[in-house]
Structure 1
Amino acid sequence: MEILIKASQFILSLSLLIVLHELGHFIPAKLFKIKVEKFYLFFDYKFSIFKKKIGDTVYGIGWIPLGGYVKIAGMIDESMDKEQMALPPKPWEFRSKPAWQRLIIMLGGVFVNFVLGIFIYIMLMWGYGESYLPNENVKDGVWVRDSLAMNLGIQNGDKILTVDGQKIKKFSGLSLEFINGNNFQIERNGHVIDKEIPEDFISQLMDRGKDAGPVLYPRYPFVIGQIPEDSPNLKSGLKPKDIVTAINGVSMKYYDEAEAILLKVKGQKVTANVLRDNKTKKIDLQISEDGKIGVISTTIPFKDLERLGYYELADLEYSFAEAIPAGWNKSWKTLTDYIKQLKKIFNPSTGAYKGLGGFISIGSIFPNEWSAESFWNITAFLSIMLGFMNLLPIPALDGGHVVFTLWEMITGKKPGDKFLEYAQVVGFVLLIALLLFANGNDIFRLFQ
């Protein structure tokens, strides 16, 4: 059922983005009186799931869910209609129109993607606002849970000050900043320390597995999650959601402080202070020979941590006027972060190519349960990503056509149809290779 919910959201989001992107080409083509022969969601090699001709245009749904297209008369595109291109240009064809009109048509899809992403982010800011843990409010530093953070030279209680010289606004954004960054600065016991992020950091991150969680966590209290049947403290009076605050009078605020305290009383009977329903209770516990209580700890929501005085969250609400710059800033941050990641993918030494994913990876970022806020957040991100990807100067993409048109406008020389045909084939082969590699990564991770 979870897979079905994820897949449904993915297909809905992808279909919306493809249709609107192609409309960005379709509308200016119609305005410039160019014949549009096809408008398709997905590709229709050999046959279509649905098609209907209205006027000069056949509207349809193909069976290969790798995108969509509009077939504009007189344009060398993925249809590779050589017969049409061999005939003399007609007044209603793309190739007969001035370069500036062709440029607008080519940029139309990208323009729609960027505007859509910005619009969605603005509406999300207006409708939902923002709620997050400011990095500056993590006053007692971070919790180091695995070897990757340790390899970075980070210890429990360190405060992350900057990445690449930039202060971190949201604690939840730390992992992404480390992925995109080259160096960082921490504060430890009042001293500021500069550290480098290894070039193969992303490779190390990928080797942890997809369920490993963030690189760094805020420090949590020692919250009881489960008490197993074989626990020596099964009948001690401990209950799930109890928060252990002291052992034999030695206080602990955070879970990571518990290990050292428990090792000092291993094998002993102790008295623990636990917080339950805002009241402190004393409970006698048996500590094992390896310094364990015999429970499974858990975390609690940030709202509960705020209520208990651990953290102060930022809860921001925006008027529509305030949401416009907030949505724009989020869109810009999304775009620049994506470009940074793309640069690292093309640098083999970073190992970022391991993280390149296809349809399974994209589908997996949607939540297991329907959430309008999450759906539109992901759709806005994908819209900006799709816009940027289509701007890349690869012949089979909009960016490739834009480059050739700009060359014509600057030099006054139009590339020949044969050259454009060969360029389209090369670009298409590159895209298919990239698609196979990305989805191959997905399949490899699935069986790993």
Structure 2
Amino acid sequence: MEIAIKLSQFLLSLSILIILHELGHFIPAKLFKTRVEKFYLFFDIKYSLLKKKIGETEYGIGWLPLGGYVKISGMIDESMDTEQMAQEPQPWEFRSKPAWQRLIIMLGGVTVNFILAFIIYIGMAYAYGEQFIANNDLKEGVWVTNPVIEKAGIKTGDKIVSINGKPMDRFNDLAKNLYTAREVVVERNGQQQTIKFPINIINQISNSGRKHSLVELRIPFVVSEVSKSSPNNSTLKSKDIITSFNGKPVRYADEIISEFDKFKGQTVPVVVKRDNQLVATTIKFNDSAKLGVVYPNRIPLSNIEKLNLYKVNKHEYGFFESIPVGLRVGAETLIGYGENLMTIFNPKTEAYKEVGGFAAIFNIFPNSWSWEAFWNITALLSIMLGVMNLLPIPALDGGHVMFLLYEIISGRKPSDKFLEKAQLVGFVLLISLLLFANGNDIYKAIVGK
């Protein structure tokens, strides 16, 4: 059932992005009286699942969900229709239109991607508002949950002041900025320290096997589940909060977890908070220093409020108020993705090893249906699709735009033969990138990363 929910979200998001991207090409093509022969969701190699011709355009759904396309007459694209290109240009063809019209047609897809992302972020600000914890409210710092971050020099209890020179105002922004951190300023024991991160931090985080948890809020040790085979099934109950461990008062789970290895096979006195009462009991560790209980390293914001741990700031916005908020979030996401992309093209970062394909995108979606998560992921994917399509690679929109800009600036149009060869090179390059990205997914699945 969980896989079905993830797959449904994945296909729905992909379909929305593909259809709207292709509409971005389709609409200006029609406005400039350019013939569009096909409009397809997914690829129809050899056959289509559905198709219907309306006017001069065949609309359909292909069987291969790796993208979609519009086939515009007189345009050198992935169809490599050399027979059509060998004939005399017709007034309804793409190649017969002025360069500025062709440029608008080619930029239409990515323009829609960016507009869609910003509209989604505006809608989310209006529908859900914003919830965040101010970084200044973390008086006793963060909980470092990834060994790579700890090895880099950040310790549990540190207050993260800035990352790459950017002040960190919200706790929610810490983790995503740490992935591309080069320089981190922390406050430790009242003194600020500058920590230099290794250039390949992204790859190190991935190899740690804990890339989804870098730093967390310092929270109490809350028992969420006790297994039936646990040596503590008679002394601990779900929702117990440990407030004293081995005779010492404790506030945070990290204070207890860091001591586990010292008590292998031993019984330790504890005090737990149970139903708003303090109860003295004991816990027993097995020979592997395990308790046989489940304890989370993060808890929902709603529970954080109930436990009175941190102040959760809530901002609700009216329609017009949500517009600048959505634009800000969209701009931050766009800039952040651009920075991440730059690290991939720097071999020293080894970030290219983390490039993922369709399985990586599929795994972004949660196991349970959440419209808030769905739209947030769809907005991010829309920005990713827009940026990737702008890369100056023949066969991508950015490749076509590159040649059109050359034509507009120089006044000379590249020959059809040159464009055909460039398209072929770009197609081979794209297939190679696709194989590399999805090969990474397969490798990680095999080795368990």
Q: 1:151 to 1:32 in 2, by over 3 A?
A: same
Match of 1:196?
Answer: 196
Measure, in 1, the Cα distance between the counterparts of 2:6 and 2:441: 16
Deviation at 1:268, TM superposition (A): 8.6
Measure, in 1, the Cα distance between the counterparts of 2:219 and 2:437: 37
Give the alignment's TM-score, normalised by structure 2. 0.93
Match of 1:216?
Answer: 215
Q: 1:280 to 1:61 in 2, by over 3 A?
A: same
Match of 2:425?
Answer: 426
Deviation at 1:44, TM superposition (A): 1.8
Match of 1:242?
Answer: 240
Q: 1:103 to 1:330 in 2, by over 3 A?
A: same
Measure, in 2, the Cα distance between the counterparts of 1:17 and 1:325: 23
* 1:256 and 2:254 are equivalent in the alignment: yes
Measure, in 2, the Cα distance between the counterparts of 1:244 and 1:220: 11
* 1:125 and 2:125 are equivalent in the alignment: yes
Measure, in 1, the Cα distance between the counterparts of 2:127 and 2:165: 33
Matches within 5 A, 1:307-318: 307-318=306-317
Match of 1:276?
Answer: 274
Letter in 2 for 1:160: I
Letter in 1 for 2:26: F
Match of 1:151?
Answer: 151
Q: 1:414 to 1:302 in 2, by over 3 A?
A: same
Match of 1:440?
Answer: 439
Matches within 5 A, 1:74-223: 74-209=74-209, 213-223=212-222
Letter in 2 for 1:358: G
CA contact (8 A) 2:265 2:288 kept: yes
Measure, in 1, the Cα distance between the counterparts of 2:262 and 2:423: 70
Deviation at 1:272, TM superposition (A): 3.6
Match of 2:8?
Answer: 8
SS class of match (1:65): strand
Measure, in 2, the Cα distance between the counterparts of 1:354 and 1:149: 19
Deviation at 1:288, TM superposition (A): 5.9
Residues 152-182 of structure 1, C-alpha deviations (whole Å, 9 max, x = no match): 1122211111101111233233222011221
CA-atom RMSD in angstroms:
2.4
CA contact (8 A) 1:233 1:293 kept: no
Q: Between the two proteins, what is the percent identity of the paired residues? A: 55
Q: 1:262 to 1:437 in 2, by over 3 A?
A: closer
Deviation at 1:72, TM superposition (A): 1.0
Deviation at 1:423, TM superposition (A): 0.6
Measure, in 2, the Cα distance between the counterparts of 1:192 and 1:355: 32
Q: 1:219 to 1:29 in 2, by over 3 A?
A: same
Match of 2:366?
Answer: 367
SS class of match (2:308): coil
CA contact (8 A) 1:200 1:350 kept: yes
CA contact (8 A) 2:13 2:378 kept: yes
Letter in 2 for 1:418: K
Per mean C-alpha deviation after superposition, the further-off stretch among 294-303 and 99-108 is 294-303
Deviation at 1:66, TM superposition (A): 1.8
Q: 1:397 to 1:276 in 2, by over 3 A?
A: same
CA contact (8 A) 1:269 1:284 kept: no
Measure, in 2, the Cα distance between the counterparts of 1:83 and 1:266: 76
Residues 226-252 of structure 1, C-alpha deviations (whole Å, 9 max, x = no match): 44556555434x322111112476321
Letter in 2 for 1:344: T
Letter in 2 for 1:423: A
Q: 1:267 to 1:25 in 2, by over 3 A?
A: closer
CA contact (8 A) 1:262 1:287 kept: no
Gaps of 5+ in 1: none
SS class of match (1:198): coil
Residues 277-320 of structure 1, C-alpha deviations (whole Å, 9 max, x = no match): 3x232313266698979452513433223222211112111111
* 1:30 and 2:30 are equivalent in the alignment: yes
Number of residues paired by the alignment?
445
Give the alignment's TM-score, normalised by structure 1. 0.93
Match of 1:400?
Answer: 399
CA contact (8 A) 2:145 2:213 kept: no
CA contact (8 A) 1:224 1:295 kept: no
CA contact (8 A) 2:24 2:105 kept: yes
Matches within 5 A, 1:321-360: 321-360=320-359
Per mean C-alpha deviation after superposition, the further-off stretch among 263-272 and 168-177 is 263-272
Residues 395-421 of structure 1, C-alpha deviations (whole Å, 9 max, x = no match): 101111111111111111111111111
Residues 55-85 of structure 1, C-alpha deviations (whole Å, 9 max, x = no match): 1111112222221111111111111111111
Letter in 2 for 1:274: V
CA contact (8 A) 1:25 1:105 kept: yes
Per mean C-alpha deviation after superposition, the further-off stretch among 83-92 and 251-260 is 251-260
Matches within 5 A, 1:296-307: 296=293, 298-299=295-296, 300-307=299-306
Deviation at 1:376, TM superposition (A): 1.0
Letter in 2 for 1:108: G
Match of 1:41?
Answer: 41
Per mean C-alpha deviation after superposition, the further-off stretch among 300-309 and 321-330 is 300-309
Per mean C-alpha deviation after superposition, the further-off stretch among 93-102 and 258-267 is 258-267
Per mean C-alpha deviation after superposition, the further-off stretch among 197-206 and 139-148 is 139-148
Measure, in 1, the Cα distance between the counterparts of 2:164 and 2:123: 31
SS class of match (1:235): coil
Gaps of 5+ in 2: none
Per mean C-alpha deviation after superposition, the further-off stretch among 219-228 and 341-350 is 219-228
Residues 323-371 of structure 1, C-alpha deviations (whole Å, 9 max, x = no match): 1111111111111111111111112221211211111110111111111
